Structure 1
Amino acid sequence: MRSTQRVAISVAVVGLVTAGLSSCSASSGGSSGGSKTLNVLMVNNPQMEALKKVTPEFTKATGIKVNFKDLPENDLRSTAATEFAQQAGQYDLATLSNFEIPIYAKKGWVADLTKDTTDAKSTWNGQSFDQSDILKPMAESLTVNNKIYGEPFYGESSFLMYRKDLFKAAGLTMPANPTWQQVAGFAAKLKKGSTAGICLRGAVGWGEVMAPLTTVVNTFGGTWFDKDWNAQVNTGGFAKATNFYVDLVKKYGEPGAAQAGFTECDNAMIQGQAAMWYDATSAAGTLVSSKYGSDIGYAPAPVDQTKSSGWLYTWAWGVESASKKKDAAWKFISWASGKDYLSTVGGRTGTGMGWANVPAGARTSLYSNPNYLKVASSFAQPTLAAINSADPNNTGRTNHPPVPGIQFVDVAEFTDFGQKVSQEISNAIAGSTSVSSALNASQSIAQDGVKAYKK
């Protein structure tokens, strides 16, 4: 994901901050504008591109202009880390995830939005924001000590996508709640010629290969650390899950799996080069309009020892504590994360518009909206079920540290040690090292990464 004066920064965030010290400057567009202008730091995902297209309507209704600085995910994360840690004031709000917001809230870097959510007069249109309509897991992931610090723009969990026509041709039936062992068996029978039995991320990145892999670790009874912050990477469920994952993708996965991430697997499904894909629920919006869209089915995230194993992720709006335009920032949030915004995008045609492309995974009411269900009937309920079954505070069968997170460990250092471990796992998928060697190296990396917590 992505000043000249240094400030004292605690060890818990130094890894986030130092990566982006040179990423932002006054010339970036973040410091311009008067009292009626908001400066927004934003990830450049497709949903945000659609947002930019319709923002003039918000400006017309409120008189508030919006300057966007949109960056690739990794650049956004490093720039936001610097901006919020230093409270530089170049931006009023930013797209932050449920990884950053709990960390930033505890540091006092993001503003408390709790009162705004209950004050209809503070919204852009004078109507209720309806916080109760925000999906509970999303709301909880952005809440710290019963205070709301972020509002989701869109969110996701994970599930298994599969080609129903290929299953039928092979005489296979997808169970209502598949296990990973069953999935491996299916992949072996479905791999034929240039068609992979399953596509799984193998690319380097704590948000790439480590996202799906960590959910497999959870359901295999593993954990990154025990409750005393002792690393558990080369033992127990973590080791079992990693051996299983690497073996599965090497035997029956896509070619070049060590370089494959979300985009590559998405393309493989769209082009008919994979029979199954375990990944984000947000992928369904692109698959449904593809050549094989009507042939794609959706099943819950595969499990082993747990009842569910899907992840939880959201890009959400967080207001910088140093912003002097908090009222205007909330008006923008109440519009962009409000119910009316869904109709604004859903009712349009063109690139990034239409009901298949609305920012899903944030509001409960979307999943009973007939306009949305016309295009999303095949994946709407599986998506809703996946999100509602995700519990960041209870990820598996093993004791773990008192921090939330399903596909990540919600401490700032994870961006560093998670990235390094991902390199080791990707090397194992590529065949340049063994899984045991990768896990032994990762054990030391992980333990070193949390040494401050053990003290």
Structure 2
Amino acid sequence: MTLTFRALLGACALGALATAASAETTITVATVNNGDMVRMQGYMDDFYKMHPDIKVDWVTLEENVLRQKVTTDIATKGGQFDVLTIGTYEVPIWAKQGWLVSLNDLPAEYDVNDLLPAIRSGLTVDGNLYASPFYGESSFVMYRKDLMEKAGLQMPEKPTWGDIEKAAAAMTDKANGVYGICLRGKAGWGENMAFLSAMDNSMGGSWFNMDWKPQFDSAPWKETLTTYLDLMNKYGPPGASSNGFNENLALFQQGKCGMWMDATVAASFVTNPKDSTVADKVGFALAPNKEGVDKRANWLWAWSLAIPAGTKHEAAAKAFIDWATSKHYTELVAAKEGWANVPPGTRTSLYENPEYQKAAPFAKLTLDSINAADPKHPSVQDVPYTGVQFVAIPEFQGLGNAVGQQFSAALAGQMTAEQALESAQSLTEREMKKAGYLK
């Protein structure tokens, strides 16, 4: 073999290695169409600057559709996605099934110990972190201070459901398109049932008793659903059975809701003058309780990024998650959008940051609400499950959707509260027997 030919072969080999080293890896990220996730897609230049060899394809879906698609894909090992946006409900269940990749080997700069304990705990199984929180949330009341003042009322920081009803009545002005209260009505275990399950906790109720018997025939559930329907029928907007988080956010930003009880993450969107016509008029209060019940209607959730087991692009997926849920990303958003608009509810350092405290009048109440939620004791009753606005069993996704459809139908006037509760009790008992929880 001649020297020239050897040199040529060597050059080809080096060229092949260089091509392999610079080969682009494409990962597919499935995410929800909430504001923080949509905003992240506008910052990808920063990620590409740090990782020029990784390309990200986005699949952005409405909440109920996202849940259905990622659940089907991971359960069937479909392999469509390399990064999933999932919540506190799915993580422990899927991790125990071996469906998720551990994130314990993220770089030291990720600083796992900075994650809020309540949020980190819900994403950890047997000492392994299986998802990294993009934002965390509880729920609280957002209300129009100007309308409360006009009505001669003051919102307590710790309201009861009686206070909420009084405020909703006083702020309702349907002739001018202002509704006293906006609440989730769209059917779904993470839509109307997130709200109603938390509301039932605050009424002294629960999904199941210690024998796994459904409790929809109990006094607390009857009070929960009748109070909810009464509030929405008297003081809520038309077509509320179709409204989820995004629809109510738009209504509130347009000045059409006197009050909205929902995820704490909404606070930055309702106080952002670029998007909200009432940005300078918003007040905040803790989620309500029934007088005499020591449990508020605040839930606990984190939209988090996880990697399905079996992905062919694990290293690239981890690089993306490390970037998207890092302190660096928080600082990037702060520099472009202001500290009030960074993804909230995930890191202790954010709530210790004086700039954030100054910019976000809702920061303390958000943290207080997150810390007050207790997934191990969601009700004043003893219960056999964990989870505040959900029940952490695999069957809950189907059950929550089915019950949510009954309650949404009651809101739409297609059945009475009594009929909806009776149907919820019957279908839940049937499914729990089929799954072996009930004899």
So what's the TM-score if we normalise by structure 1?
Answer: 0.84
Structure 1 residues 269-324: Cα deviation after superposition (integer angstroms, max 9, x where no partner): 22222211111111111110222222110000001212433111211111122124
**Tell me, what secondary structure is at the counterpart of 1:278?**
strand
- Deviating more after overlay: 44-53 vs 378-387: 44-53
**Tell me, what secondary structure is at the counterpart of 1:177?**
coil
Letter of the 1:202 partner, please give it. Answer: G
Whether the aligned pair in 1 keeps the contact of 2:137 and 2:301 (CA below 8 Å) is yes
Q: Distance in 1 between matches of 2:48 and 2:246?
A: 33
Whether the aligned pair in 1 keeps the contact of 2:85 and 2:305 (CA below 8 Å) is yes
Using the TM superposition, give the Cα deviation of residue 337 of structure 1 relative to its aligned residue in structure 2, in angstroms.
Answer: 0.7
Whether the aligned pair in 1 keeps the contact of 2:31 and 2:66 (CA below 8 Å) is yes
Give the match for residue 26 of structure 1: none
Using the TM superposition, give the Cα deviation of residue 53 of structure 1 relative to its aligned residue in structure 2, in angstroms.
Answer: 2.5
**Tell me, what secondary structure is at the counterpart of 2:250?**
helix
Using the TM superposition, give the Cα deviation of residue 104 of structure 1 relative to its aligned residue in structure 2, in angstroms.
Answer: 0.6
**Tell me, what secondary structure is at the counterpart of 2:110?**
coil
Letter of the 1:447 partner, please give it. Answer: E
Give the match for residue 414 of structure 1: 396
2:117 corresponds to 1:100: no
Give the match for residue 355 of structure 1: 339
2:278 corresponds to 1:292: yes
2:315 corresponds to 1:331: no
**Tell me, what secondary structure is at the counterpart of 2:56?**
strand
Structure 1 residues 382-433: Cα deviation after superposition (integer angstroms, max 9, x where no partner): 111111211212111112223x221122223222221221121122222221
Whether the aligned pair in 1 keeps the contact of 2:23 and 2:53 (CA below 8 Å) is no
Whether the aligned pair in 2 keeps the contact of 1:158 and 1:386 (CA below 8 Å) is yes
Using the TM superposition, give the Cα deviation of residue 374 of structure 1 relative to its aligned residue in structure 2, in angstroms.
Answer: 4.5
| Structure 2: tracts of 5 or more residues without a match | 1-21
- Deviating more after overlay: 191-200 vs 285-294: 191-200
Give the match for residue 132 of structure 2: 151
Whether the aligned pair in 2 keeps the contact of 1:44 and 1:70 (CA below 8 Å) is no
2:192 corresponds to 1:209: yes
**Tell me, what secondary structure is at the counterpart of 1:206?**
coil
**Tell me, what secondary structure is at the counterpart of 2:200?**
helix
Letter of the 1:176 partner, please give it. Answer: E
**Tell me, what secondary structure is at the counterpart of 1:74?**
helix
Q: Out of 195, 198, 217, which is 2:178 matched to?
A: 195
Q: Distance in 1 between matches of 2:53 and 2:211?
A: 49
Q: Distance in 2 between matches of 1:101 and 1:175?
A: 36
Structure 1 residues 70-91: Cα deviation after superposition (integer angstroms, max 9, x where no partner): 1313332222223322334443
Give the match for residue 275 of structure 1: 258
Task: Indicate how the Cα distance of structure 1 residues 329 and 217 shifts in structure 2: closer, same or farther if over 3 A, else same.
Answer: same
**Tell me, what secondary structure is at the counterpart of 1:70?**
strand
Letter of the 1:107 partner, please give it. Answer: Q
Q: Out of 118, 131, 139, which is 2:112 matched to?
A: 131
**Which stretches of structure 1, 4 residues or longer, exceed 6 Å deviation after superposition?**
none
So what's the TM-score if we normalise by structure 2?
Answer: 0.87
Using the TM superposition, give the Cα deviation of residue 134 of structure 1 relative to its aligned residue in structure 2, in angstroms.
Answer: 0.9
Letter of the 2:60 partner, please give it. Answer: L
Using the TM superposition, give the Cα deviation of residue 100 of structure 1 relative to its aligned residue in structure 2, in angstroms.
Answer: 1.2
2:41 corresponds to 1:52: yes
Q: Out of 236, 243, 266, which is 2:219 matched to?
A: 236
Q: Distance in 2 between matches of 1:44 and 1:253?
A: 24
- Deviating more after overlay: 236-245 vs 325-334: 325-334
Whether the aligned pair in 1 keeps the contact of 2:31 and 2:58 (CA below 8 Å) is yes
Whether the aligned pair in 2 keeps the contact of 1:356 and 1:372 (CA below 8 Å) is yes
Task: Indicate how the Cα distance of structure 1 residues 136 and 340 shifts in structure 2: closer, same or farther if over 3 A, else same.
Answer: same
Give the match for residue 289 of structure 2: 303
- Deviating more after overlay: 35-44 vs 419-428: 35-44
Q: Distance in 1 between matches of 2:347 and 2:100?
A: 22
> For 1:69-148, what aligned pairs fall within 5 Å after superposition?
69-72=58-61, 73-114=63-104, 116-117=105-106, 119-120=107-108, 128-148=109-129
**Tell me, what secondary structure is at the counterpart of 2:184?**
coil
Q: Distance in 2 between matches of 1:245 and 1:419?
A: 18
Give the match for residue 228 of structure 2: 245
Using the TM superposition, give the Cα deviation of residue 370 of structure 1 relative to its aligned residue in structure 2, in angstroms.
Answer: 4.0
Whether the aligned pair in 2 keeps the contact of 1:36 and 1:63 (CA below 8 Å) is no
Using the TM superposition, give the Cα deviation of residue 204 of structure 1 relative to its aligned residue in structure 2, in angstroms.
Answer: 2.1
**Tell me, what secondary structure is at the counterpart of 2:261?**
strand
Task: Indicate how the Cα distance of structure 1 residues 453 and 318 shifts in structure 2: closer, same or farther if over 3 A, else same.
Answer: farther
Letter of the 2:195 partner, please give it. Answer: P
Task: Indicate how the Cα distance of structure 1 residues 222 and 190 shifts in structure 2: closer, same or farther if over 3 A, else same.
Answer: same
Structure 1 residues 313-357: Cα deviation after superposition (integer angstroms, max 9, x where no partner): 211111122124333322222211110111112212xxxx44343
Greater C-alpha radius of gyration: 2
Letter of the 1:164 partner, please give it. Answer: K
Whether the aligned pair in 2 keeps the contact of 1:159 and 1:299 (CA below 8 Å) is yes
**Tell me, what secondary structure is at the counterpart of 1:347?**
helix
Q: Distance in 2 between matches of 1:213 and 1:276?
A: 17
Letter of the 1:42 partner, please give it. Answer: T
